[in-house]
Structure 1
Amino acid sequence: MLPDTEINQVLVVTAHPDDADFGSAGSVALFADRGVEVTYLLVTDGDAGGNERALDNSGMAELRRAEQLAAAKAVGVTDVRFLGYPDGQVVISLELRRAIARVIRQVKPDLVITHHPDRNYKFIAPSHPDHRAVGGATLDAVYPDARNPYAFPELVEEEGLEAWTVREVWLNGGSTPNHWVDVTEVMDRKLAALQSHVSQISHVEGFTDFVKARFAAWAEQAGFAEGRYAEGFQVVPTA
């Protein structure tokens, strides 16, 4: 794994608003506290989210973008980008790979965090089709697209974006995590980020207790002491 001292720029690529906050907001807060620059790239605006159709899709997208900006602020992220793909309709495509590779070349991250591209048969929630598509497209953008100067030559010729090699990827939502981050000290900020997504969680009774129980269980799986909270990832080296 990359040593902490060699992680200076992180790119988090997700399908929807709130995905980063469920998956990695605690780790992001710890990175931000160390002075690491973190960028969020959201493939959709979450326009098909929500539990009551009180808003049309464009209204929901506007609301969810605002919620994500507030959530990002809670953990120290100010660079938030949206690609605007339709929620619920994301597929791996050359267009999506190019869009993600473009941002990788712009941001030049040492580490990329994204969804696991495989279905999780132990816990279905992380396996939304958009999540799996974004995870797969991001891995393709990391290798080979962003690092290959011959891939999408228009990125170099028209935009001046030279090839960039991401050194490591962390996948969340999979069934085989092999790296755990103790987020106990920033759990309040992770919860604040999640609670920014009012349109998604206001109907969930006992939401805070639910979140704490989930991340306490992962801390237990990681072998941490009682009373700790953890986020789990599968680390993918890219050398």
Structure 2
Amino acid sequence: MLAESEINRVLVVTAHPDDVDFGAAGTVALFVDRGVQVTYLLVTDGDAGGNERALDNSGMAQLRRSEQLAAAKAVGVTDVRFLGYSDGRVTPTLELRRDIARVIRQVKPDLVITHHPDRNYKFIAPSHPDHRAVGGAALDAVYPDARNPYAFPELLKEEGLEAWTVREVWLTGGPTPDHWVDITATMERKLAALQSHVSQVSHVEGFTDFVRSRFAAWAEQAGFGPDHYAEGFQVVPTA
């Protein structure tokens, strides 16, 4: 597993606005505090999200983009990119793999954080089809696409993007996390990021209490003890 000193650039690849904030915003805030460069890559604009039809899909996409920018600001991330795929219709295509590989070669991350590509039967919420598709495509973009100079030759010939090897991937939302990050110091910023997604969470009664209890339970599972909060990941070495 990479040492903290070996992580200088991080790329977070998610399906929708708010995914990173549920899964990893506390960890991201810790990275930012250490001077790590963090980039968010969102595959969709979340145009099919929300619980009311006050806006059409285009209006919802615009709203959710602005909410994600506000959430990113809450944890100190300024580089936020959107691919514009349709929410609810993502599949792990070659096109998506190329689009993620392009950003990997642009950003040159040491670490990629993305969704677990398998269904979690212990807790179904992280297993949205878009999440699983993005996780699978991101892993394929990490290995072999981004590091293979012969993959997607147009990225080199037309855009000058050399091959890049990501050294490690952390998966969120899976059933078997094996790496826990104590986010007690950044929990309030995680909550601020989540509450930026007004269209998604404002109607949920007791939302902050739910979030606190869930991440406190993970801290207990991680062995951090009471009055702590934690986020969990499955670490995938790529060497």
Find the aligned partners of 1:210 and 1:152 in 2 and give their Cα distance. Answer: 44
> Paired residue for 1:168?
168
Q: Secondary structure at the match of 1:54?
A: coil
Find the aligned partners of 1:220 and 1:89 in 2 and give their Cα distance. Answer: 36
Task: Give runs of aligned pairs for residues 145-184 of structure 1, distance below 5 A.
Answer: 145-184=145-184
Find the aligned partners of 1:79 and 1:62 in 2 and give their Cα distance. Answer: 17
Deviations 1:22-43 (A, max 9, x none): 0000000000000000000000
Matched, 1:60 2:79: no
> Paired residue for 2:222?
222
Shift of 1:158: 0.3
Q: AA paired with 1:55?
A: L
Find the aligned partners of 2:113 and 2:87 in 1 and give their Cα distance. Answer: 20
Task: Give runs of aligned pairs for residues 34-183 of structure 1, distance below 5 A.
Answer: 34-183=34-183
Shift of 1:72: 0.2
Q: AA paired with 2:234?
A: Q
Find the aligned partners of 2:23 and 2:201 in 1 and give their Cα distance. Answer: 15
Find the aligned partners of 1:201 and 1:27 in 2 and give their Cα distance. Answer: 21
Find the aligned partners of 2:141 and 2:225 in 1 and give their Cα distance. Answer: 37
Q: Which contiguous aligned blocks of 4+ residues in structure 1 show a shift greater than 3 angstroms?
A: none
Identity, in percent, stands at: 86
Find the aligned partners of 2:23 and 2:122 in 1 and give their Cα distance. Answer: 16
Find the aligned partners of 2:194 and 2:226 in 1 and give their Cα distance. Answer: 23
Deviations 1:20-68 (A, max 9, x none): 0000000000000000000000000000000000000000000000000
Find the aligned partners of 2:106 and 2:87 in 1 and give their Cα distance. Answer: 24
Deviations 1:116-163 (A, max 9, x none): 000000000000000000000000000000000000000000000000
Query: How many matched pairs?
Result: 239
Shift of 1:225: 1.4
Q: AA paired with 2:119?
A: R
Find the aligned partners of 1:168 and 1:94 in 2 and give their Cα distance. Answer: 22
TM-score in terms of structure 2 length: 1.00
Find the aligned partners of 2:187 and 2:177 in 1 and give their Cα distance. Answer: 20
